[in-house]
Amino acid sequence: MNDILLLDPLFLQVNGNFVIAALALIFGLLILWILVSIPVWIAAKIVTAGRARFTRAMLVTAAGPITYAIVFFLSSAILEMTLGEKIFITTIAFILAFIAWIGVFKLGFDTGWLRALGIAILATIVFAVIGTIITIGLQALVPETPPITPFPTF
């Protein structure tokens, strides 16, 4: 009985640390979601002649990766049962998932397939530029900072 009482503070500490870590994760994902939505919003503003709203960009940014993952894994599973060749299956699953992701942009911004593809490409370019600028700024302040983008900055 006395041993259990000694362990109570340990359980409270572990639960407290878990709650803090969970809140930090949720807060970090929310900030990341907002930051990733900015290039999508900018690209959609350009491609749709200013009709895109930031809230719509956030919705599309959330729905796009979910749709991509579902289509990729389902098509991989179905194709693996029928075809069997792994490289071919992965390539087809990637293409189908990419088309689904573009479809989310198409529906989300009420535009055609070509404009949705333009939003996706332009959002990727804007994201890379913003990431590079942030990386250069962070590395100027703290030289040991790892790059945010896969592109070398210096």
Percentage of the chain beyond pLDDT 70 is: 82
Mind listing the pLDDT tens digit for each residue in 36-89?
899 889 989 999 888 889 999 999 988 988 998 899 999 988 888 887 777 788
Q: Give the list of residues 6+ apart from residue 147 with CB closer than 8 angstroms, or none.
A: 135, 139, 153
CA distance 150 to 132: 9
Query: Taking the model in full, what pTM does it have?
Result: 0.68
Backbone angles phi, psi at 84, to 5 degrees: 95, -25
Query: What whole-number distance in Å separates Cα of residue 8 and Cα of residue 21?
Result: 20
CB 33 within 8 A of CB 26: no
The mean pLDDT value for 124-132 works out to: 80
Task: Extract the tokens encoding 1.
Answer: 């009985």
* More reliable by pLDDT, 95 or 143: 95
**Contact in structure between 97 and 75 (CB atoms under 8 Å):** yes
pLDDT exceeds cutoff 80 at 20: no
What count of other Cβ atoms lies within 10 Å of the Cβ of residue 145?
13
Q: CA triplet 141, 145, 151: central angle to 5 degrees?
A: 110
Confidence check: pLDDT of 153 > 60? no
Max mean pLDDT among 24-28, 59-63, 134-138 falls in 59-63
Q: What CA dihedral angle connects 10, 11, 12 and 17, to 10 degrees?
A: 90
State both tokens at 36: 């990733």
- Report the amino acid identity of residue 61: T
